Structure 1
């Protein structure tokens, strides 16, 4: 077999192996996405009930004050930036980092703190000297509350201690498996607690409404962190599923192109051989 044909066949086999890998990764990402979506659906009733209870307390006892509700002059800002631990998800990570850099542009590094979720973002911010106040990496493919609770509590406690005066989440919001939208969402202070959920339910609090509010409000803020991580993880799996699907399609197109090249090379070789045979026969006459 001529060298050119061997090279083409080698490339075809290599591309087929790559297509098998990307197809498998696409299927795995789709399975993980379904599991994360189930986790999101399971967590929504809990978050809704917390919102309902907080709204009820706020309406019945408007005199209650809490550091997480306090609006202060903004001297320092906190940013919770959620990226992935891995790549192979198209522009998922670079998109979030780019949005974060747009938020940081023109600001002195002493005026904000970054809390990084995900290895890609964490490594980038450390490498380029951004002020990282906390981090968590290795979040499971289907996040649990325990996997992010330490960072969530750290962020909430830092706001309550007035280490910064507002908190923003920067992450990819899940729209559908093929669409993820980067968002910058202001979370703290929790200025909309009293209006975020309407309910006529009457609650009895033990020992009193103030004590319940004191315990419930930080947990609610921590749950918002967990919800954002769930949303971002669903976006990651959706982005990876799309990227691997596109890679598989590209591999199939390349295989078709290489197969056509191989057939043409074979045809040219056969034609050359026929010409040589005919030429040899003519020479013997």
Structure 2
């Protein structure tokens, strides 16, 4: 069994580690709250951006000839892989095609044909400039938005994972401290018992 001094040293070391993990947990939690706010502000913007593109694409004669929509015989395509933030305990790996831009981005999901907002987007609007020109300007903005959104989601996922890991580390540190404290108490009890036995043995030797 380790000596009392060794056990006390271990307890002090674990307590110092717990201070660090607790501080990192608090820092990650504060940063995560800010990241959540940015995501909550970003998602409506990205959704409205896609709705605008869908409405404009429906008014355009053709959008498949736009530079960012054309499918060419190329060796490289643009794909972004990121962790989509769902909650502090749930992050999902997401794969999104960027280039060429998938046609479904401009065609919509097709599930809300009766939705009033989608019907309004189909209305007879007068576009100035032409819808194709508007789309050509919107597509680069859409790409920037998707990349920025992926960065925000990944940052929030990282902070959530870090906060959870530090919380688990602090919990493990508490369990270690309890275990070492129990060992220290047993070692102290054994030491006291040994001293009592020595005193009794000495008294018996003198009698």
State the 1:211 CA deviation: 2.5
**Match of residue 181 from structure 1:** 92
Q: Give the SS at the match of 2:85.
A: strand
**Match of residue 61 from structure 2:** 62
Distance 1:196 1:268 in 2: 75
Which residue among 177, 194, 201 is the counterpart of 1:272? 194
Name the one with the larger helix percent: 2
Larger radius of gyration: 2
Alpha carbon RMSD of aligned pairs, Å?
Answer: 1.8
**Match of residue 31 from structure 1:** 30
Distance 2:45 2:86 in 1: 21
Q: Which runs of 5+ in 2 are unaligned?
A: 113-117
Decide whether the 8 Å contact of 1:58 with 1:193 is kept in 2. no
**Match of residue 115 from structure 2:** none
Partner deviation per Cα, 1:123-161 (whole Å, 9 max, x = no partner):
xxxxxxxxxxxxxxxxxxxxxxxxxxxxxxxxxxxxxxx
Q: Give the SS at the match of 2:43.
A: helix
- Please report the TM-score for the alignment, with normalisation by the length of structure 1: 0.64
Confirm or deny that 1:243 pairs with 2:165.
yes
Decide whether the 8 Å contact of 2:62 with 2:132 is kept in 1. no
Confirm or deny that 1:45 pairs with 2:62.
no
Distance 2:195 2:34 in 1: 59
Distance 1:204 1:4 in 2: 86
**Match of residue 192 from structure 1:** 104
Distance 1:214 1:44 in 2: 22
**Match of residue 226 from structure 1:** 148
Q: Give the SS at the match of 1:68.
A: coil
Distance 1:58 1:18 in 2: 57
Do the aligned partners of residues 281 and 221 (structure 1) sit closer, same or farther apart at CA in structure 2, a change above 3 Å counting? same
Distance 1:180 1:49 in 2: 24
Decide whether the 8 Å contact of 1:173 with 1:232 is kept in 2. yes
Decide whether the 8 Å contact of 1:174 with 1:181 is kept in 2. yes
Q: Which moved more, 1:211-220 or 1:181-190?
A: 181-190
Q: Give the SS at the match of 1:172.
A: strand
- Please report the TM-score for the alignment, with normalisation by the length of structure 2: 0.86
Partner deviation per Cα, 1:159-211 (whole Å, 9 max, x = no partner):
xxxxx2x2221222222101222233323222222223662235544333233
Q: Which runs of 5+ in 1 are unaligned?
A: 77-163
Larger RCO of the pair (alpha carbons < 8 Å, separation 6+) = 2
